[in-house]
Amino acid sequence: MTDHEKTPARVSFPDLDAGQYVPLGALVARVRKMRGLSQVAVQQRAGMKASTLSKIECGDNGINGVASIIKLADALEVPREQLFEWAVRYIESHDTGPRRNPR
């Protein structure tokens, strides 16, 4: 997305807006279908490998890295900030590892 393009409108889903947790992959799939896009079209727009989007939507993978979140948000025409929020919720809900203490 270039500076002169405007930010897409936030996506709204009743369950998510009511505070219910919805898995990241389900949200990505919902937006993709709402936009009338195939997995192939989104993968091409985002520059992803063929199986990556499928794995994200199935919950087998999260979105790895800031650049991937930006590319996927742009491909889905979702505000980048919103996809970051969804990704953070996904990470927080799957984070079961020990916390490191800052030194």
User: For residue 41, is it within any domain?
Assistant: yes
Q: Identify the CA nearest to 59 among candidates 86, 80, 90, 82.
A: 90
User: For residue 54, is it within any domain?
Assistant: yes
Q: What percent of the chain has pLDDT over 70?
A: 86
User: For residue 103, is it within any domain?
Assistant: no
Residue 47 belongs to what domain range? Answer: 18-90
Q: Which residues contact 68 (CB under 8 A, 6 or more apart)?
A: 46, 48
**Domain total in the chain:** 1
Banded model confidence at residue 91, pLDDT cuts 50, 70, 90:
confident
User: For residue 55, is it within any domain?
Assistant: yes
CATH assignment at residue 79: 1.10.260.40
Q: What is the pTM of this model?
A: 0.83
pLDDT per residue as tens digits for the range 60-90: 887 888 999 999 999 999 999 999 999 998 8
Helices (H), the chain: 14-17, 24-34, 39-46, 52-58, 66-76, 80-94
User: For residue 26, is it within any domain?
Assistant: yes
